Amino acid sequence: MKSILQKLKLNFTSPFWVTVIPFGWLLLFFLIPFLIVLKISLSDLKFGLPPYAPLIEWTSEGLLIIKINLTNYTFIGTDSLYLFAYLDSLAIALLGTIGCLCIGYPMAYGIAKASPSKRTILLMLIILPFWTSFLLRVYAWIGILSPQGYINTLLINLGLISSPLSLIDNTFATVLGIIYCYLPFMILPLYAFLEKIDHTLLEAAYDLGARPFQAFIRIIWPLSRPGVIAGSLLVFIPAVGEFVIPELLGGSQTLMIGKVIWNEFFTNRTWPVAAALAVIMLVFLILPIAIFQRYQEQQVRFLDAE
Amino acid sequence: MQNKLSPFLKTMMIFGYAFLYLPILTLIIFSFNSSRQVTVWQGFSTQWYTALLQDEALLKSLWISIQVATSAATLAVILGTLAAISLVRFGRFKGRGFFGILTTAPMIMPEVITGLSLLLLFVGLEQIIGWPHGRGILTITFAHTTLCMAYVTIIVRGRLADMDVSLEEAALDLGARPIKVFTAIILPIIFPALLSGWLLAFALSLDDLVIASFVAGPGSSTLPMVIFSSIRFGITPQINALATLIITTVAIGVMIAGWLMHRKK
C-alpha cells in the first residue's frame, strides 16, 4: 500500500525541476568550480589577467595541445614553508577542536539536564553569538589580549607584572580564537544527542551500584559519541582553512594554510599556486568530510534546535 | 533527563557562558568610552556612534551588504526548499545520495576554498560566455546563495521530515494538484522553518568576509570587508560602536523570534 502511494506521489509531486533547479545550481556553483581549481592548479603562471595560461590550446596547424604542468605542485613540495603551514593548520585546528570539546561537552550536558524552560534560554544564549558578527567577535579578543589590552592593563595595575605579557600574535591566541568562535558548532550537535538520552538508563545503572563516573563512561559517553564526532568535524574542517582568526590574532609567525592561500592569491597574485594549495588542502580534508557526511543525516536537526 | 547539576557541571556552565559573553561585553562597554584609546576608560560618551553615522564608506558598504543579503537569502530559501523537498519527499531517486552530500558540503567547506573556486568559475565563465561581466554585487549574491542554501536545506529538511505525510496524501487523493498541495498544505506548515532559514541566511551573508573578498569587484566592498580593513590598522572605538549596534539588533531579533515561537507552542 505504502509503495503504491509513494509511486503515485512520485508521479504527482515530483516535477522534474524541483530537483533539477537546486541540483543544477550546486553543480554549477559548487562542483564545477572545484574542477576549475584543479584545472588551474595544473596550468602555467602567466603575467596578465587572468594570471594563468590556458591548459588546452589549438595550434595554427590544428593540433590540440594539452599542457599539464605539475610545477606548481613540485614548487609547493620543495618549499618547506608550505609543509609547515599545512602541519600548523592541522595542529591548530586539532587543538581548537579539543578545546571546544573540553568546554562544550560539560556545557551541552548541563543544558540537556536543565529544566525545559531554562533549557530554551540556555540554548538561545548559545545560538545568539553565532548570529552576531564573526569578525567582530574575533576583534573583541584583540582588545582583550593585546599588549595595551584589558588583561595586561589589569595585571599591570594590580602590580602582578611589570611589562605586558605577549598574549596575542601567536599560536595560543589563534587556538583561543578558534575555540571561542566555533564553540556553538560543538555544543549544538552534542546537545542534540545528550538531550535524547533516556534518563531511566542512568537510574538503572545507579540502582545496579554504578558510580557517577562509571555511569558516564559506560552509558552517556557511548550514546553521545555521534554528537562528539559530528561536533568535532564541524569545528575541525572549517578551522583547518581558517583565515580571519590567524590573520587577526596569529600575527606574522602563525602561518595557517588559509592565510597562505589568501596571500598567494591577493598579494603575490600567483593564482595557479593558490589553486594547487587549495587542492592539497582538500585532499587532506576529504576523509574528515566523508565521515561528517555519514553523521550529518543523524544531526540534521540540530540547527533547528529552537 | 533532568537532574541536579553537580558542582563541576555548574562551574563549567558558568565558565562557559562567561567565556562566550565577556568579550562581547567588553566591546559594548568600551563603545561608550570617550577616549580614543580603546582600553582605558575615560568617561561616558556616545561620540563614536555619531562618528559611525557620518562614515560614508561604511554606510555605503552596509547598503551593499543589505542588498546582497536580502537577495541571497531569498534565493537560498527558494533553492534550499526545493532541494529539501526533493530529498525528503521524492523517495530514492537516482543520484539522491550525491545530491544530499552536495547540499550540505558548502556548510563545512573552508571559506577560502569556496571563495577561490567561485572566483575562478566567474573568471572562466566571463572568458567563455562573457558573463558575468566583471564582479560585484551579483557575483557576491550568487556566492552567498550557494553557501546559505546549505543551511536552509538542513532547516527545511528537518521540518519536512517531522511533518505528517498523510495530509498531503489525503489532498492528493481528493484530486488536489501538486502546486495546490504545496501552497495550501506544505507551505503554511514549513513557514516557520522558511522564516528562520531566511533570517539565518541573511545573517550569514551579512557576516561573510572571506568569500565576498574573493568574488567582489572594485566598488562593491561589503560591510565585513570595510570592517576588516579598518581592524587591520588597529582597534578603533567606532568599530566597538558598530559591534554594539549589530549585537543589540540581533539580540532583540532573536528574543522576539524566540518569544513568538514560544507563544505559538
DSSP for B200-217? Answer: HHHHHHHH--HHHHHH--
Three-state secondary structure call for residue B110: coil
pLDDT of residue B1: 47
pLDDT of residue A10: 47
pLDDT of residue A14: 53
Beta-carbon separation of B151 and A120 below 8 A: no
Tally DSSP H helices, then E strands, for chain A. Answer: 15, 2
pLDDT of residue A1: 46
Beta-carbon separation of A301 and B158 below 8 A: yes
Residue in A with minimal Cα distance to B255: A124
Contacts of A154 in chain B (CB under 8 A): none
Centre a 10 Å sphere on the Cβ of residue A103 and count the other Cβ atoms it contains: 20
- Answer yes or no: is pLDDT of A6 > 60: no
pLDDT of residue A304: 45
Name the residue among A10, A50, A136 with its Cβ closest to that of B123: A50
Beta-carbon separation of A237 and B172 below 8 A: no
How far away is chain A from the Cα of B250, in angstroms, using its nearest Cα?
Answer: 6
pLDDT of residue B16: 95
- Say which residue, B80 or A253, is predicted with more confidence: B80
Q: How confident is the model at residue A68 (pLDDT cuts 50, 70, 90)?
A: confident
Three-state secondary structure call for residue A56: strand
CA separation for the pair A232, A94 (Å, rounded): 9
pLDDT in tens, A29-48: 999 999 999 988 888 776 66
Residues in chain B: 265
Beta-carbon separation of B246 and A136 below 8 A: yes
Beta-carbon separation of B120 and A281 below 8 A: no
Q: Where are the domains of chain B?
A: 55-264
Chain-wide mean pLDDT for chain A? 85
Mean pLDDT (10-residue bins), chain B, 265 residues: 73 94 91 78 86 89 95 96 88 80 88 94 88 88 96 89 84 84 88 89 93 92 92 81 89 79 64
pLDDT of residue B263: 67
How far away is chain A from the Cα of B182, in angstroms, using its nearest Cα?
Answer: 9
Residue in A with minimal Cα distance to B251: A128
Which position has the grid cell 560591510?
B223
Could you give the C-alpha distances from A103 to A136, A181, B16, B20, B65, in angstroms and in order? 22, 13, 6, 11, 34
CA separation for the pair B25, A129 (Å, rounded): 12
Closest CA to A296 of A184, A182, A179, A192: A192
pLDDT in tens, A135-145: 999 999 998 99
Superfamily of chain region B55-264: MetI-like (1.10.3720.10)
Closest CA to A240 of A293, A297, A299, A282: A282
Closest CA to A132 of B122, B254, B164, B84: B254
* Cross-strand partners of B18: none
